[in-house]
């Protein structure tokens, strides 16, 4: 499945959703990993903006005005960068 190429990313600014500070707005760059189909179904699609609302065992994110709780393992598969 073709994803955005690694070269498209600014390596210095890319991080996983787990590494984002609570309260920050970020933009999804790439989804990679076994859970990415499931994440896309739920609306975690490339280029969408996400706000992380809570960290911990499970993360809470606001995406398109909906709050979703996802596990750390899934959040690890969401590569984000700061909103441009």
Partner 1 sequence: MSATPDGPSLIALIGNPNAGKTTLFNALTGANQHVGNYAGVTVAVKSGHTYTPHGRKVRVLDLPGCYSLRANSPDEKVALDALHGQLPGEPVPDLIVCVVDSSNLERHLQLVLQVIELGLPCVLALNMIDVAERNGLRLDPVKLSEELGIPVIPMQANAKRGIVELKQALRLPRPIAPVTTWTHLHDDPETGRRLFINQLCELVARRPNAHQQTTSDRLDAVLLHPVYGWLALIGIFFTVFWAIFSFAEIPMHWIEAGQGSFGKWVESLMVEGDFRSLLVDGVIGGAGGVIVFLPQIVLLFLFIGLLESSGYMARAAYLMDGVMAKAGLSGKSFLPLFSSYACAIPGVMAARTIHSSKERLVTIFVAPWMSCSARLPVFFLIIPLLMHENEGSWKQALTLFAIYGLGTATAFIVARILRGRLGEDISPGHFLLELPPYRTPQWGYIFRHVLDRAMSFVKKAGTIILGLSILLWALSTYPKSNSSEPAEALAHSAMGRIGAVIEPVVKPLGFDGRMGTAILTSFAAREVFVSSMAILYRVEEAENEEQTRNQLRDKLSAATWPDGRPIFTPLSLISLLIFFIYALQCLPTSAVVARESGSWKWALGQFLFMTGFAYAASFLVFQAGKLIGF
Applying CB under 8 A, the residues found at the interface with partner 1 are 1-2, 25, 34-35, 37-38, 40-43, 45-49, 51, 53-54, 56-58, 60, 62-71, 73-74
Q: Which is nearer to partner 1, 6 or 64 (CB)?
A: 64
Pick between residue 12 and residue 34 the one whose CB is nearest to partner 1.
34
Note whether 81 and 17 are within 8 A (CB).
Answer: no
For residue 10, the minimal CB distance to partner 1 (Å) is 21
Judge contact between 68 and 76, C-beta under 8 A. Answer: no
Residue 39 Rama label (left phi>0; alpha psi -120 to 50; beta): alpha
């Amino acid at each position: 499945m073709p994803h955005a190429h690694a070269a498209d990313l600014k390596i210095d600014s890319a991080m996983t959703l787990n590494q984002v500070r609570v309260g920050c707005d970020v933009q999804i760059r790439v989804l990679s990993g076994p859970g990415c189909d499931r994440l896309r179904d739920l609306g975690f699609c490339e280029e969408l903006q996400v706000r992380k609302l809570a960290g911990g065992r499970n993360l809470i994110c606001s995406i398109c005005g909906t709050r979703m709780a996802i596990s750390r393992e899934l959040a690890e598969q969401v590569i984000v960068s700061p909103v441009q």
